[in-house]
Structure 1
Amino acid sequence: MCQLLLGCTTMALVAHSAGFSATYGTYCMFVWCFCFAVTLVIFTLDVTRLHGCMPISWDNFTVAFAMLATLMYVTASVVYPVYFLRSECPSEGCEVRNYRIAVTVCSSVCCFAYGAEVFITRAKPGHVVGYMATVSGLLKVVQAFIACIIFGALANDSEYNRHIPTQYCVVVYSLCFAVTVVVVALTVSGRTSSLRFPFDRFVVIYTFLAVLLYLSAAVVWPIFSFDKKYGTPGRPEDCPRGKCPWDSKLVIAVFTAANLVLYFTDLVYSQRIRFVSHSSA
């Protein structure tokens, strides 16, 4: 109910006077509308107990969406004030600035509402929960979300097609993202038991391969983007902000390293879980 109240308030403020424009504003509005709509459906199905008729693993779906909504709200709460909030009053008047401040506050508070749901429903010692409620499952959502940020930077004139090694990096991002989405989809749909091979072993093997692939990308991408022989070490002075290939390359390098850390953490946690389970047996 807190998520619905804050989401509705945010959309109302934007539609009334705060406003939005361009690609970044459209993205923020999509985040608020999408999260509100899905949260409303979840709340309705939960109250009416009709979620039992859904052909999905309800617990896995709700915690996965809460994690995704948290990440989406965090980005929207950062992007909106960066592009639409200024210390001085805009041409529309100071009232518009005040509404934009209110939008930023409501969106930021809603991050904590979704984050609290993830914290409450996460796996706890001694409790039987779905895979998506574990650290490994939550990390899968974060990994896929970061991959989407990388894809956005690639599409923003990143010049990745200038070198074959950077094209290899794009293949790495795409392959890991696709398999991660498949893992999440199988878990949410409750189809993991129908596979002909142990799902937990598949996830561990895939995570290990993803660590190796991202490790190679984390080395290759910076070399062919910032080395003097292949790219530009420093940011060009005549490069406009928002449309600079160097900025996109830097974003990709940073989030490649971030995803490498996430996949490695996922692998360590998965091995620890299997070790504890094996020892207790």
Structure 2
Amino acid sequence: MCWSSGLASKPIMGFFLRVGQLLSTCVSFSLGASLGIWEEGLGNWCVFVWCLCFAMSLIISIVELCGLQSRLPCSWDGFLHAYSSYFVIICIVTSFIFGTSYIQVFPPGPAQNRAIIATAFSCVAPLLYAIEVAWVCVRPGDMVCFVPTFPGVLRRLENYLACVIFAFISNTDLYQHKPALVWCVVVYSICFVLGAVNYFVNGCDCDNDKKLPLRIPLLLWLQTVLSVLLYITAVILWPLYQFHEKLGGQPQRSSDMSCSDQLTTIGCIWDQRLAVAILTAINLLVYVADMMYLILEAFVWTEAQPRDSLFFFSPAVSSPISDVP
């Protein structure tokens, strides 16, 4: 019943996109798992991302085939647009990390061939998600295509940088048994979750739901100010405990034995620590720019400033037959 009714109401393009997403992510995590890469932090991250993408695509396929999307309080097309945009970035990052980490590690043979095939299929996945982002906007319906405003670009960048940070801190050797560094991981997680919630609430048009206790502008203020304060602690504690010798850090790269092997995975432990420190500083600057924009918008600019500038997106182009007020 679900299959027949879903196919009757769902365009065939979306069906084939979903099948491609399922196939590409399934092949990637199956081949990756067969190589035993879950024993390392970066390998765990890659397998986790592929499994997450596969699971989400499968759930979405079931919802659409059963026609359940019409019962949801939020815009289904908005949700597809939001989640596909996210998965484009994390799949690109995962493909790069896996390809540069593991293809060179294995000698020529079956293991290396599996790593190459897994990387190839992992590269196909973000392409399919990107096609879905564009397809959601151009297909007939009520979905309005959006062009990110300047603060919208900043808020996307905040979460995209967090995704890259998560790829590195998936290696628990970077912060195990150090409460200050564990706090930094908590900071990254809290800020990412807050940003993701804001992104999806706005992208799915849930901010129009009167059942929500808070409105988007207030959520943006809370998220941005709290994230700036939290990231200030991380930008101080992470390099301090990673590179200060008296606090158990390693100030020099040569002192890290994992950096001596030429056939190591992407970046030795010391390189990963440095990468997280740099990304943390960059993300703090992005959050500060976001907060300054909100302050200017609230206290400096006139009330004539468009309301949409408070949000993640600014409407630019609608689908040919959509009815936009």
Tell whether the structures are fold-level matches, with TM greater than 0.5: yes
The answer to whether the aligner puts 1:104 opposite 2:104 as a matched pair is: no
The superposition leaves residues 187-216 of structure 1 with CA deviations (integer Å, 9 ceiling, x where unpaired) of 559366434553313313431342243244
Normalized against structure 1, the TM-score is what?
A: 0.69
The one-letter code sitting in structure 2 at the alignment partner of 1:223 is: L
The answer to whether the aligner puts 1:279 opposite 2:294 as a matched pair is: no
Contact 1:226 1:233 in 2 (8 A): yes
Pairing 1:108-187 to 2, within 5 Å after superposition: 108-118=123-133, 134-135=152-153, 138-139=156-157, 141-142=159-160, 145-146=163-164, 148-149=166-167, 151-153=169-171, 155-158=172-175, 161=178, 166=181, 169-170=184-185, 172-184=187-199, 186-187=201-202
Compute the RMSD of aligned alpha carbons: 4.4
Instruction: Give the Cα–Cα distance (whole angstroms) in 1 for the partners of residues 96 and 111 of structure 2.
Output: 18
Contact 1:3 1:110 in 2 (8 A): no
The answer to whether the aligner puts 1:190 opposite 2:206 as a matched pair is: yes
The superposition leaves residues 208-261 of structure 1 with CA deviations (integer Å, 9 ceiling, x where unpaired) of 342243244324432343245543321243522579764453243123124224
Instruction: Give the Cα–Cα distance (whole angstroms) in 2 for the partners of residues 235 and 131 of structure 1.
Output: 43
Task: Choose from 35, 53, 61 the match for 1:20.
Answer: 35
The answer to whether the aligner puts 1:200 opposite 2:217 as a matched pair is: yes
Contact 2:26 2:50 in 1 (8 A): yes
CA pair 17-227 structure 1, distance change in 2 beyond 3 A: closer
Instruction: Give the Cα–Cα distance (whole angstroms) in 2 for the partners of residues 85 and 276 of structure 1.
Output: 55
Residue 25 (structure 1) shift: 4.5
Match of 2:140 in 1: none
How many residues align structurally?
A: 271
Task: Choose from 85, 93, 96 the match for 1:67.
Answer: 85
The answer to whether the aligner puts 1:259 opposite 2:275 as a matched pair is: no
Match of 2:53 in 1: 35
Structure 2: 5+ residue runs without aligned partners? 1-15, 138-142, 260-264, 308-325
Residue 8 (structure 1) shift: 0.9
Bigger helix fraction: 1
Identity fraction in percent: 27
The one-letter code sitting in structure 2 at the alignment partner of 1:21 is: G
The higher relative CO (CA closer than 8 Å, separation ≥ 6) is in: 2
The one-letter code sitting in structure 2 at the alignment partner of 1:250 is: L
Task: Choose from 76, 81, 85 the match for 2:94.
Answer: 76
Instruction: Give the Cα–Cα distance (whole angstroms) in 2 for the partners of residues 173 and 271 of structure 1.
Output: 23
Task: Choose from 103, 122, 128 the match for 1:85.
Answer: 103
Larger deviation: 32-41 or 6-15?
A: 6-15
Normalized against structure 2, the TM-score is what?
A: 0.62
CA pair 219-54 structure 1, distance change in 2 beyond 3 A: same
Instruction: Give the Cα–Cα distance (whole angstroms) in 1 for the partners of residues 23 and 302 of structure 2.
Output: 44
Instruction: Give the Cα–Cα distance (whole angstroms) in 2 for the partners of residues 13 and 259 of structure 1.
Output: 30
Instruction: Give the Cα–Cα distance (whole angstroms) in 2 for the partners of residues 277 and 65 of structure 1.
Output: 32
The superposition leaves residues 11-32 of structure 1 with CA deviations (integer Å, 9 ceiling, x where unpaired) of 3477579943131545434433
1:202 counterpart SS class: helix
Residue 276 (structure 1) shift: 8.6
Structure 1: 5+ residue runs without aligned partners? none
Contact 1:158 1:246 in 2 (8 A): no
Instruction: Give the Cα–Cα distance (whole angstroms) in 2 for the partners of residues 43 and 110 of structure 1.
Output: 16
Residue 51 (structure 1) shift: 0.9
The one-letter code sitting in structure 2 at the alignment partner of 1:5 is: G
Match of 1:250 in 2: 274
Instruction: Give the Cα–Cα distance (whole angstroms) in 1 for the partners of residues 19 and 34 of structure 2.
Output: 20
Contact 2:176 2:182 in 1 (8 A): no
